[in-house]
Amino acid sequence: MRFFDDVSVGDRFTGGPVTVSAEEIIGFAGQFDPQPFHLDHEAAASTLFGGLAASGWHTAGLTMRMIVGSDAKLAGGYIGLGVDAVTWPKPTRPGDTLRIEGEVLEARLSAKRPTNGVARVRIVTLNQKDEVVQTLIANLLVPTRASLAVPA
Amino acid sequence: MRFFDDVSVGDRFTGGPVTVSAEEIIGFAGQFDPQPFHLDHEAAASTLFGGLAASGWHTAGLTMRMIVGSDAKLAGGYIGLGVDAVTWPKPTRPGDTLRIEGEVLEARLSAKRPTNGVARVRIVTLNQKDEVVQTLIANLLVPTRASLAVPA
């Protein structure tokens, strides 16, 4: 387990793979992004998507799953204070196999919670053709070893 | 249906409500954010969450559902070019009823796709106590009326 003390700018981590099916794409969209281009290939064909595409928020959820399973192994888990940017350069398609590549951009002690640090990370989600389907810059709360001595 | 021609800075829109159950919180987390504080109330009690909390990405998905059902009624749907910021000031809890308040911050023609505009919007997600559980700043691609004359 890595604490904030063990995190350095430039550290890299990876996660995945995860494969996503048409059924999963449609299922997610039905719950969270019920728009024709995320629900139906025919309907999507006449839009700029050109065919069934996953909701960007589905790609984000899959990315989070891969972050949790990644080799970053952060103590205390992955607690997002917030996100600075998300882009979706290409859609995630049925059958795509995704993976993530992460990098620590900044690391600073938290002003509000000084037994924690904040790690600013860039996480790039790629498909099997090494095309980028999402970029994410997020701020994670990472406990210091000293936090272990603090009563819960 | 509102086209880019009908969108002005300062325009406001609303959506929701949506109520989220513990079962849904755990179900989403099991798929996309499998961390103890999103899966189990007991496990969450000893963390900074203090009890079962929805994944921020679940709040984001619920927000997207409410955007799609909102009174913004954008022609062409809600196509996110990207997100500039997400914050999660308070967690979404089991039984919360959420709603959204949106505002158009900027509106400009797209350089890459000139029969479209880009609307930069801020969307605030609130619970039943009027507490903010998410803020989101996103850039949406919105077609102009002129785009209707362009062959698909």
Beta carbons of A78 and B46 less than 8 Å apart: no
Which of B46, B61, B86 has its CB closest to that of A152? B46
Task: Name the residue ranges covered by the structural domains of chain A.
Answer: 4-149
Give tens-digit pLDDT for B28-67: 999 999 999 999 999 999 898 999 999 999 999 999 999 9
Beta carbons of B87 and A88 less than 8 Å apart: no
Structure confidence at residue B151 as a pLDDT band (50, 70, 90): low
Q: Which CATH number fits domain A4-149: 3.10.129.10, 3.40.190.10, 3.90.1150.10, 3.30.70.260?
A: 3.10.129.10
Beta carbons of B68 and A37 less than 8 Å apart: no
Beta carbons of A64 and B87 less than 8 Å apart: no
Give tens-digit pLDDT for B119-130: 999 999 999 999
Q: In chain A, how long is the greatest CA-to-CA distance?
A: 59
Give tens-digit pLDDT for A56-77: 999 999 999 999 999 999 988 9
- Residue B30, pLDDT score: 98
Q: Tell me the percentage of chain B whose pLDDT exceeds 70.
A: 98
Structure confidence at residue A151 as a pLDDT band (50, 70, 90): low
CA distance B11 to B101: 11
Check residue B66 and give left, alpha or beta (phi > 0: left; psi -120 to 50: alpha). Answer: alpha
- Residue A114, pLDDT score: 84
Which of A55, A57, A65 has its CB closest to that of B34? A65
- Residue A37, pLDDT score: 96
What ipTM, to 2 d.p.?
Answer: 0.94
Which of A46, A60, A113 has its CB closest to that of B152? A46
Residue B110 scores a pLDDT above 90: no
- Residue A152, pLDDT score: 58
- Chain A contact present for B88, CB below 8 A: yes
- Residue A150, pLDDT score: 65
Beta carbons of A81 and B68 less than 8 Å apart: no
Residue A1 scores a pLDDT above 70: yes
For residue A56, list chain B residues with Cβ-Cβ distance below 8 A: 80
Residue A123 scores a pLDDT above 90: yes
Give tens-digit pLDDT for A30-56: 999 999 999 999 999 989 899 999 999
Beta carbons of A85 and B81 less than 8 Å apart: no
Beta carbons of A32 and B65 less than 8 Å apart: yes
Average pLDDT over residues B134-145: 95
Check residue A51 and give left, alpha or beta (phi > 0: left; psi -120 to 50: alpha). Answer: left
Angle between helices B22-32 and B56-68 (to 10 degrees): 110
Top pLDDT among B19 and A110 is at: B19
- SS3 for chain B is CECHHHCCCCCEEEEEEEECCHHHHHHHHHHHCCCHHHHCHHHHHCCCCCCCCCCHHHHHHHHHHHHHCCCCCECCCCEEEEEEEEECCCCCCCCCEEEEEEEEEEEEECCCCCCEEEEEEEEEEECCCCCEEEEEEEEEEEECHHHHHCCC
- Chain B contact present for A77, CB below 8 A: yes
